[in-house]
Protein backbone atom coordinates (compact mmCIF):
# COMPACT_ATOMS: atom_id res chain seq x y z
CA UNK A 1 0.00 0.00 0.00
CA UNK A 2 1.51 3.31 -1.13
CA UNK A 3 0.90 6.94 -0.25
CA UNK A 4 2.29 9.88 -2.19
CA UNK A 5 5.22 11.39 -0.22
CA UNK A 6 3.78 14.93 -0.28
CA UNK A 7 0.34 13.74 0.80
CA UNK A 8 1.83 11.73 3.66
CA UNK A 9 3.88 14.71 4.86
CA UNK A 10 0.84 17.01 4.71
CA UNK A 11 -1.43 14.56 6.56
CA UNK A 12 1.20 14.05 9.27
CA UNK A 13 1.45 17.80 9.72
CA UNK A 14 -2.36 18.06 9.92
CA UNK A 15 -2.57 15.23 12.47
CA UNK A 16 0.11 16.76 14.73
CA UNK A 17 -1.64 20.13 14.68
CA UNK A 18 -5.10 18.56 15.04
CA UNK A 19 -4.11 16.69 18.21
CA UNK A 20 -2.87 19.95 19.73
CA UNK A 21 -5.90 22.07 18.78
CA UNK A 22 -8.33 19.31 19.76
CA UNK A 23 -6.91 19.38 23.27
CA UNK A 24 -7.50 23.16 23.22
CA UNK A 25 -11.06 22.57 21.87
CA UNK A 26 -10.33 25.06 19.09
CA UNK A 27 -12.92 24.23 16.41
CA UNK A 28 -11.99 27.17 14.17
CA UNK A 29 -8.37 26.02 13.86
CA UNK A 30 -9.57 22.47 13.19
CA UNK A 31 -11.65 23.72 10.26
CA UNK A 32 -8.63 25.57 8.91
CA UNK A 33 -6.58 22.37 9.14
CA UNK A 34 -9.31 20.52 7.29
CA UNK A 35 -9.16 23.10 4.50
CA UNK A 36 -5.43 22.50 4.10
CA UNK A 37 -5.99 19.03 2.76
CA UNK A 38 -8.57 20.26 0.21
CA UNK A 39 -5.72 21.53 -1.95
CA UNK A 40 -4.28 18.01 -2.23
CA UNK A 41 -7.75 16.49 -2.42
CA UNK A 42 -8.54 18.62 -5.48
CA UNK A 43 -5.28 17.92 -7.29
CA UNK A 44 -4.60 14.29 -6.38
CA UNK A 45 -8.18 13.23 -5.57
CA UNK A 46 -6.82 10.54 -3.30
CA UNK A 47 -8.92 8.91 -0.61
CA UNK A 48 -6.42 9.82 2.13
CA UNK A 49 -6.57 13.59 1.61
CA UNK A 50 -10.34 13.44 1.32
CA UNK A 51 -10.92 11.28 4.40
CA UNK A 52 -8.64 13.35 6.66
CA UNK A 53 -10.40 16.55 5.51
CA UNK A 54 -13.80 15.01 6.31
CA UNK A 55 -12.78 13.57 9.69
CA UNK A 56 -11.09 16.76 10.94
CA UNK A 57 -14.04 18.89 9.83
CA UNK A 58 -16.48 16.49 11.54
CA UNK A 59 -14.47 16.75 14.76
CA UNK A 60 -14.68 20.55 14.60
CA UNK A 61 -18.48 20.27 14.38
CA UNK A 62 -18.59 17.92 17.37
CA UNK A 63 -16.64 20.45 19.42
CA UNK A 64 -19.09 23.15 18.30
CA UNK A 65 -22.03 21.04 19.45
CA UNK A 66 -20.66 19.37 22.56
CA UNK A 67 -17.92 21.82 23.68
CA UNK A 68 -15.87 18.73 24.53
CA UNK A 69 -14.25 15.80 22.84
CA UNK A 70 -14.02 12.28 24.17
CA UNK A 71 -10.51 11.06 25.12
CA UNK A 72 -10.69 8.04 22.83
CA UNK A 73 -10.97 10.37 19.82
CA UNK A 74 -7.65 12.03 20.66
CA UNK A 75 -6.16 8.59 21.32
CA UNK A 76 -7.33 7.38 17.90
CA UNK A 77 -5.78 10.43 16.23
CA UNK A 78 -2.49 9.78 18.03
CA UNK A 79 -2.57 6.15 16.88
CA UNK A 80 -3.28 7.27 13.32
CA UNK A 81 -0.31 9.68 13.44
CA UNK A 82 1.99 6.96 14.84
CA UNK A 83 0.97 4.50 12.13
CA UNK A 84 1.57 7.06 9.43
CA UNK A 85 4.96 8.00 10.88
CA UNK A 86 5.86 4.30 10.65
CA UNK A 87 4.61 4.34 7.05
CA UNK A 88 2.06 1.70 8.04
CA UNK A 89 -0.64 2.81 5.60
CA UNK A 90 -3.13 -0.04 6.26
CA UNK A 91 -2.74 0.61 10.00
CA UNK A 92 -3.33 4.33 9.46
CA UNK A 93 -6.45 3.61 7.39
CA UNK A 94 -7.78 1.29 10.10
CA UNK A 95 -7.33 4.01 12.72
CA UNK A 96 -9.13 6.54 10.55
CA UNK A 97 -11.97 4.07 10.03
CA UNK A 98 -12.26 3.66 13.78
CA UNK A 99 -12.40 7.46 14.11
CA UNK A 100 -15.29 7.60 11.64
CA UNK A 101 -17.02 4.89 13.71
CA UNK A 102 -16.56 6.92 16.90
CA UNK A 103 -18.03 9.99 15.21
CA UNK A 104 -20.95 7.94 13.85
CA UNK A 105 -21.55 6.52 17.35
CA UNK A 106 -21.74 10.08 18.58
CA UNK A 107 -24.41 10.79 15.97
CA UNK A 108 -26.47 7.75 16.90
CA UNK A 109 -26.31 8.75 20.57
CA UNK A 110 -27.72 12.10 19.50
CA UNK A 111 -30.69 10.19 18.07
CA UNK A 112 -30.23 11.20 14.44
CA UNK A 113 -31.74 9.21 11.61
CA UNK A 114 -28.67 9.63 9.45
CA UNK A 115 -24.94 9.90 10.11
CA UNK A 116 -25.28 13.64 10.16
CA UNK A 117 -21.88 14.93 11.22
CA UNK A 118 -19.98 12.82 8.70
CA UNK A 119 -22.45 13.49 5.89
CA UNK A 120 -22.39 17.22 6.63
CA UNK A 121 -18.61 17.13 6.58
CA UNK A 122 -18.65 15.33 3.22
CA UNK A 123 -20.96 17.96 1.74
CA UNK A 124 -18.94 20.84 3.16
CA UNK A 125 -15.64 19.44 1.88
CA UNK A 126 -17.25 18.55 -1.44
CA UNK A 127 -18.38 22.13 -1.87
CA UNK A 128 -14.75 23.26 -1.45
CA UNK A 129 -13.50 20.80 -4.06
CA UNK A 130 -16.21 21.97 -6.47
CA UNK A 131 -15.16 25.54 -5.69
CA UNK A 132 -11.65 24.64 -6.82
CA UNK A 133 -12.94 23.74 -10.29
CA UNK A 134 -13.78 20.03 -10.17
CA UNK A 135 -17.15 19.13 -11.71
CA UNK A 136 -20.13 18.48 -9.47
CA UNK A 137 -20.50 14.84 -10.55
CA UNK A 138 -16.80 14.14 -10.02
CA UNK A 139 -16.92 15.84 -6.61
CA UNK A 140 -19.99 13.83 -5.57
CA UNK A 141 -18.20 10.63 -6.54
CA UNK A 142 -15.04 11.56 -4.62
CA UNK A 143 -16.94 12.39 -1.45
CA UNK A 144 -19.43 9.54 -1.67
CA UNK A 145 -22.33 11.96 -1.66
CA UNK A 146 -24.92 13.02 -4.25
CA UNK A 147 -25.36 15.96 -6.58
CA UNK A 148 -28.67 16.62 -4.77
CA UNK A 149 -26.87 17.22 -1.49
CA UNK A 150 -24.06 19.22 -3.02
CA UNK A 151 -26.28 21.49 -5.10
CA UNK A 152 -28.51 22.34 -2.17
CA UNK A 153 -25.50 23.31 -0.04
CA UNK A 154 -23.54 25.08 -2.77
CA UNK A 155 -26.56 27.19 -3.69
CA UNK A 156 -26.51 28.80 -0.26
CA UNK A 157 -22.95 30.04 -0.81
CA UNK A 158 -21.15 32.24 -3.34
CA UNK A 159 -19.40 29.11 -4.62
CA UNK A 160 -22.00 28.66 -7.34
CA UNK A 161 -21.20 31.98 -9.00
CA UNK A 162 -19.79 31.41 -12.48
CA UNK A 163 -16.23 32.28 -13.46
CA UNK A 164 -16.62 32.93 -17.16
CA UNK A 165 -18.66 35.75 -18.60
CA UNK A 166 -18.95 34.64 -22.18
CA UNK A 167 -21.37 34.47 -23.74
CA UNK A 168 -23.09 37.44 -22.12
CA UNK A 169 -26.40 37.14 -20.28
CA UNK A 170 -28.17 38.86 -23.16
CA UNK A 171 -26.68 36.37 -25.65
CA UNK A 172 -27.69 33.43 -23.45
CA UNK A 173 -31.26 34.66 -23.19
CA UNK A 174 -31.49 35.42 -26.91
CA UNK A 175 -30.19 31.96 -27.76
CA UNK A 176 -32.68 30.31 -25.39
CA UNK A 177 -35.54 32.35 -26.85
CA UNK A 178 -34.48 31.17 -30.31
CA UNK A 179 -34.80 27.53 -29.24
CA UNK A 180 -38.41 27.97 -28.15
CA UNK A 181 -39.63 30.44 -30.75
Partner 1 sequence: MSSIVFDAGPIISLTLNNLLHILPELKLRYNGDFYITREVYRELIEQPLGTKKYKFEAMQILPYIASGTLKIVEHDGVKAVAAGLEHSANRAFSAERNHIRIVHPADMEVVAAALHLSSEAVVFDERTTRTLIEDPIALKNHLARKLHTDVIMDEDKVKDISKQIGHLKVIRSFELVALAFELGFLDKFIAPGEEIYVTGLKSKLLEGALWSIKLSGCSVSQEEIEETLSLLGDKLL
Binding site for partner 1 (CB under 8 A): 6, 39, 42-45, 113-114, 130-138, 140-141, 146-156, 160-164, 166-167, 169-170, 172-173, 175-177, 179-181
Task: Give dist(CA 52, CA 61) in Å, integer.
Answer: 14
Provide the minimum distance between the beta carbon of 98 and partner 1 in the complex, in angstroms, as a whole number.
25
Please say which residue, 68 or 181, places its beta carbon nearer to partner 1.
Answer: 181
Please say which residue, 86 or 114, places its beta carbon nearer to partner 1.
Answer: 114
Please say which residue, 90 or 180, places its beta carbon nearer to partner 1.
Answer: 180
DSSP state letter for 110: T
Query: Cα dihedral angle (69, 74, 75, 78), rounded to 10 degrees?
Result: 170
Closest among 103, 41, 42, 26 to 72, alpha carbons compared? 103
Task: Give dist(CA 94, CA 78) in Å, integer.
Answer: 13
Half-sphere exposure of 141 (CA within 13 A, CB side): 8
Provide the minimum distance between the beta carbon of 91 and partner 1 in the complex, in angstroms, as a whole number.
26
Provide the minimum distance between the beta carbon of 164 and partner 1 in the complex, in angstroms, as a whole number.
4
Provide the minimum distance between the beta carbon of 122 and partner 1 in the complex, in angstroms, as a whole number.
13
Amino acid sequence: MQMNHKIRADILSILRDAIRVLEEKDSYSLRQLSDHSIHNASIFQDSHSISIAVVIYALSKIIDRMARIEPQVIEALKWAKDKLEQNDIPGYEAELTSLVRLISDFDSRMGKYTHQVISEARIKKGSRIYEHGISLAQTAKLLGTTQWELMRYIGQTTIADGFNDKPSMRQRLDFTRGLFR
